[in-house]
Amino acid sequence: MNFAPPSTVLFDLDGTLADTVPLIVATFKRTVSELLGWEPTFDQCKEWIGRSLNETFTRLAPGRADELTAHYLEWNLAQHHAYVRPFDGVAELIDALHAAERPFGVVTSKRHDSALLSLECVGLTGRVPLLATEEDTTAHKPSPEPLLHALRRVGADPADAVYVGDAVVDMQAAQAAGMRSVGVTWGAASVEELTAIEPTAVVHDVAELQTLLGL
């Protein structure tokens, strides 16, 4: 594949830089079961990964989004250190980006406090120069606005930037923003789900991603 290294790299967080999917699924199941009285399947839980909590719970139970979100966050934040793990190679990838002096950051649908806690759990506190979270924009993935907001903060051109993520909404947001998109297969979406949305590239481990980015 002819993939010129981008000048700016943006990452999703959940399922991309941090292994948070087991925690998200456990918290989502617990919240829906306790407050709505039914237990979602694993696949149903994964469908919401990458979207904001407010959007997720507004669709599931209109009028109860605030209640569901508060219930979700209380347990989720308390369980971060028990569940969240780093992916092999991510720390080295971040080191390589710093060494290359290439602008990079994280754009996530998580709330700011949750994102900081996830970064702490995988040893990335203070090592990500740009963090854009749910509070920064009114529209969220698959809208391009969070990505465009992050690019404006670093003065980057979408055409020379890439977004790396594990969910279909990540690929859709990147495409809508005019960015290249790289799907990673170690997170929420399957290879088939990612390739169906036709990202610029799909990678299967962090070493492959680092090579693709020219690091």
What is the rounded average pLDDT for all residues in the chain? 96
pLDDT given at position 47: 86
3-state secondary structure (DSSP) of residue 184 = strand
Q: How far is CA 93 from CA 5, 98, 124, in A?
A: 14, 9, 11
- Given a cut of 70, whether residue 189 has pLDDT beyond it is yes
Q: How far is CA 158 from CA 18, 50, 189, 206, in A?
A: 24, 20, 24, 23
pLDDT given at position 2: 78
Q: Is 15 left (phi over 0), alpha (psi -120 to 50) or beta?
A: left
Residues linked to residue 164 through DSSP beta bridges, in sequence order? 11, 182
Average pLDDT over residues 168-197: 97
pLDDT in tens, 99-156: 999 999 999 999 999 999 999 999 999 999 999 999 999 999 999 999 999 999 999 9
pLDDT in tens, 39-60: 999 989 988 899 999 999 999 9
12 flagged as catalytic: yes
Instruction: Express as a percent the part of the chain with pLDDT over 90.
Output: 95
pLDDT given at position 1: 65
Nearest to 15 by CA among 168, 179, 174, 177: 168
